[in-house]
């Protein structure tokens, strides 16, 4: 907010201020700055995904700290766009996926590194910290901390079909009975199912392009099996509930929800591995209230608070010690889906090089247009 209006400027030009006026102006300016600082200190401007900041958690945080959380709902693309437009201003804390941090930071410089002395690192699962250290470190500085994770695999109505890997969605006996997204996770899934690791080719554009072309041809030939390419979670869940679909690519939480309704429907970790996403904490470069951001991170990683978030969202957070605090049925579903071997076989999205998605977009457009 400007401290002088046009009218104030005109009056200042007309009357040269004396010492008393200067003192009064100084007192006014100090008062305005004090109010602004106070307002900043009592507010955390958070840009995050829907449901990631539950209302009861926000209320408890304000009760304990006096800090109000102002939430802006977004997604990876919008977060990057908003922070690019402002050079990293407008928010104190962002929650991009961990694979969308270092490439964007190298290109646009919209984040600042974490000061780990301000973070209660012992509250985080060591395996989640290790994943994000690998993927959100740039020039020796850490630009992300883990928040919440999930995995995408397969869901199947075992009464009508059996599947073990992504490629089974294209079997002739499942014609017009399967679904998937026309998005990059599907490209990655079918690449792994073909026996190749697309992430290992990120630094080899020619080999990566060749692999994506191959996957594109596979998916174009598979279109007869796809009842619909789903656009949202409800569309997919309802297709499985109604029996319109018997198998699909799906997130773990959706599969568990369906399983609670119908035990015949199960979430399956594919033979080639589930695809793991890890959404993070990141500090915008020009955030005004880093202290509030660190306070929120430490608060939400407390086991009792993290368990509240897990119960609300359905996904597990990166906090330690929450297992005993969630619903036993949810804990049992997690353990059934992710025994030790299955968890170790999760394919975590690494930092994606800037511009790679343009190539993938062309492949996806070609699949969409295929007859």
**What pLDDT shows up at residue 344?**
84
What confidence tens digit (pLDDT) does each residue in 339-348 have?
Answer: 877 888 899 9
Lowest mean pLDDT, pick from 19-28, 89-98, 123-132, 154-163? 19-28
* Alpha-carbon 367 to chain mean position: 26
Q: Is the pLDDT of residue 291 over 80?
A: yes
Mean pLDDT of all residues belonging to the chain: 89
What topology does CATH give the domain 40-148+278-332?
Answer: D-Maltodextrin-Binding Protein; domain 2 (3.40.190)
Domain ranges across the chain: 6-39, 40-148+278-332, 150-276+351-369
CATH number of 150-276+351-369: 3.40.190.10
Quote the pTM value.
0.84
Q: Is the pLDDT of residue 247 over 70?
A: yes
Q: How many CB atoms lie within 10 A of CB 14?
A: 7
Lowest mean pLDDT, pick from 5-9, 252-256, 329-333? 5-9
**What pLDDT shows up at residue 71?**
98
Q: Is the pLDDT of residue 15 over 60?
A: no
Residue 219 binned pLDDT confidence (cut-offs 50, 70, 90): very high
What confidence tens digit (pLDDT) does each residue in 138-156 have?
Answer: 999 999 999 999 999 999 9
What confidence tens digit (pLDDT) does each residue in 87-101 have?
Answer: 999 999 999 999 999
Burial of 269 (0-12, 13-18, 19+ CB in 10 A): buried
What confidence tens digit (pLDDT) does each residue in 268-279 have?
Answer: 999 999 999 999
Q: Is the pLDDT of residue 259 over 90?
A: yes
**What pLDDT shows up at residue 40?**
66
Residue 27 binned pLDDT confidence (cut-offs 50, 70, 90): very low
Q: What is the mean pLDDT of residues 259-274?
A: 96
**What is the pairing mode between strands 283-284 and 111-112?**
antiparallel
Lowest mean pLDDT, pick from 103-107, 117-121, 139-143? 103-107
Burial code (b: 16+ CB inside 10 Å, e: under 16) for 313-340 equals: bbbbbbbeebeebbeeebbebbeebbee
Nearest to 37 by CA among 294, 284, 292, 297: 292
Is it true that 40-148+278-332 and 150-276+351-369 share their CATH fold? yes
Task: Name residues whose C-beta falls within 8 Å of residue 127's C-beta, 6 or more positions apart in sequence.
Answer: none
- Give the span between the Cα atoms of 21 and 8, in whole angstroms: 13
- Phi, then psi, of 184 in degrees rounded to 5: -60, -30
């Amino acid at each position: 907010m400007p401290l002088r209006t046009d009218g104030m400027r005109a009056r200042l030009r007309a009357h040269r201020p004396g010492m008393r006026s200067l003192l009064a102006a100084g007192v006014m300016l100090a008062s305005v700055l004090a109010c602004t600082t106070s307002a900043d200190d009592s507010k955390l401007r958070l840009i995050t995904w829907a449901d990631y900041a539950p209302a009861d958690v926000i209320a408890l945080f304000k009760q304990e700290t006096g800090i109000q959380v102002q939430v802006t709902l977004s997604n990876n693309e919008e977060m990057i766009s908003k922070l690019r437009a402002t050079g990293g201003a407008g928010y104190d804390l962002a929650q991009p996926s961990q694979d969308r941090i270092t490439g964007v930071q190298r290109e646009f410089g919209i984040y600042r590194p974490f000061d780990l002395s301000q973070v209660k690192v012992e509250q985080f699962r060591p395996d989640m910290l290790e994943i994000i250290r690998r993927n959100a470190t740039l020039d020796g500085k850490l630009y992300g901390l883990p928040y919440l994770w999930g995995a995408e695999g397969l869901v199947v109505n075992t009464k009508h079909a059996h599947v073990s890997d992504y490629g089974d969605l294209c079997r002739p006996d499942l014609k017009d009975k399967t679904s998937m997204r026309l998005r990059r996770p599907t490209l990655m899934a079918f690449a792994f199912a073909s026996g190749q690791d697309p992430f290992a080719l990120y630094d080899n554009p020619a080999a990566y392009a060749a692999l994506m072309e191959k996957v594109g041809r596979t998916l174009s030939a598979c279109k007869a099996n796809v009842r619909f390419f789903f656009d949202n979670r409800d569309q997919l869940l309802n297709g499985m509930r109604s029996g319109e679909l018997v198998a699909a690519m799906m997130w773990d939480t959706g599969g568990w929800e369906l399983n609670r309704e119908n035990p015949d429907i199960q979430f399956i970790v594919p033979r080639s591995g589930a695809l793991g996403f890890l959404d993070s904490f990141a500090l915008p470069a020009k955030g005004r209230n880093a202290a509030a951001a660190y306070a929120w991170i430490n608060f939400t990683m407390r086991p009792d608070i993290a368990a509240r978030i897990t119960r609300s969202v359905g996904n597990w957070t990166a906090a330690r010690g929450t297992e005993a605090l969630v619903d036993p049925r949810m804990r049992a579903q997690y353990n059934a889906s992710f025994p030790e071997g299955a968890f170790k076989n999760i394919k975590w999205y690494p930092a994606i090089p800037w511009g790679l998605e343009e190539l993938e977009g062309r492949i996806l457009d070609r699949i969409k247009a295929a007859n």
